[in-house]
Amino acid sequence: MIDDNSELFKEKFRQAKDMIAAAGHPVVLTGAGISAESGVPTFRGEGGLWKQYNVFELATPEAFTRDPALVWEFYNWRRELLAKCRCNPAHLALVKMEQRFSPAFTLITQNVDGLHTQAGSRNILEIHGNLWQVRCLRCGRLDTVYGVFESIPPKCDQCGGMLRPNVVWFGEALDPQVLGAATAAAESCDLMLVIGTSAVVQPAASLAILAKKRGAGVIEINLEETDHTGRLDITLLGKAGEIVPGLMDGL
C-alpha cells in the first residue's frame, strides 16, 4: 500500500489528481527511482550503482579513453542486469497519461534503461542517451544492440572502428537538440511531474525549477525529500509503482 497513509498525504494526493485532471499540456521528468521497482539499481540509494562501482570513474570520456575494455565491462554488466528487467506499473501509468494528453505531452527521462519505450511511451526525450544504443567512434554509425558484447571493446561491423555506449557521460555535453526540446517542454508546460530523481545531476535537475519559474504546477514523487522539495507545489512520498498508477486512475 502507499507508504504514507496520513490524512495530509491523502489531501495532497487529491490535490495532485485535480492538478493532473485540469492540465492542458503536462510534462514528466523521470529518474532512476521510477525503474527501481523493476530491479534496476539506482545511482545513489541502497544497493545503488555508486556502492559497487565508482560511476564517476567509469561513466566518463576520460575513463573510456584510458581503458575502454574496463568501461565496456561496466556497461556489459549493466546490459546483463537490465536484460532481466521489465517495465513496472509506474512506466505503464505514464503511457496512459500520454494517451490522455497526446500530442500535448512530453516524457523527459534521465534513464538510459529503455523501460519507458518497453512500456509503450512514444514521445520520449532520452536526455542521457540509451544504454542499448552504440555509436562508432570512427564512422559515427548508430545501432541498437541488445544482449552483452562477447568481445570488448566491440568493433563497428561497417568500418572496424571502436564502438561506445550511446549515453551521455559525466563531463559530456547533452545533445543540444534533445536538451533544447526538453527545455522548451519545461518552459511551456502547465504541469510537471518529477518522478524518482534525486535532483542532483545537472542540467536535468534544473528543468523542474525552470517549469516552476514559468508558472507550471510541479508535483514530485519520491521515496524521500530532495533539494527541490521545498520549492515545488506538492511532494508525495512513497513508491512510484504505487503512487503514479493511483494518480492516473480515472484519466
- Which residues contact ligand BV8 by CB under 6 A? 31-33, 36-37, 42-45, 48, 59, 110, 112, 128, 167-173, 196-198, 200-204, 221-224, 226, 239-240
Burial of 68: CB neighbours in 10 Å, binned 0-12, 13-18, 19+: middle
The C-alpha cell 512510484 sits at: 240
Closest distance of CB 24 from ligand BV8, Å: 26
Query: Given the complex with ligand BV8, which of 24 and 47 has the nearer CB atom?
Result: 47
Residue 114: count of CB within 10 angstroms of its CB: 21
Cα–Cα distance, 83 to 125 (Å, whole number): 21
Cα–Cα distance, 33 to 42 (Å, whole number): 6
Provide the phi-psi class of 63: left if phi over 0, else alpha when psi is between -120 and 50, else beta.
alpha
Q: Does 195 bind Zn ion (CB under 5 A)?
A: no
Stretch that binds Zn ion, among 37-45, 89-97, 135-143, 164-172 (CB under 5 A): 135-143
Site string for Zn ion, 150-189 (x = CB under 5 A): ------x-xx-x----------------------------
Determine whether 116 is an active site residue: no
Query: Given the complex with Zn ion, which of 140 and 180 has the nearer CB atom?
Result: 140
Cα–Cα distance, 8 to 11 (Å, whole number): 5
Catalytic residue ranges = 128
Interface residues with Zn ion (CB under 5 A) are 136, 138-139, 141, 156, 158-159, 161
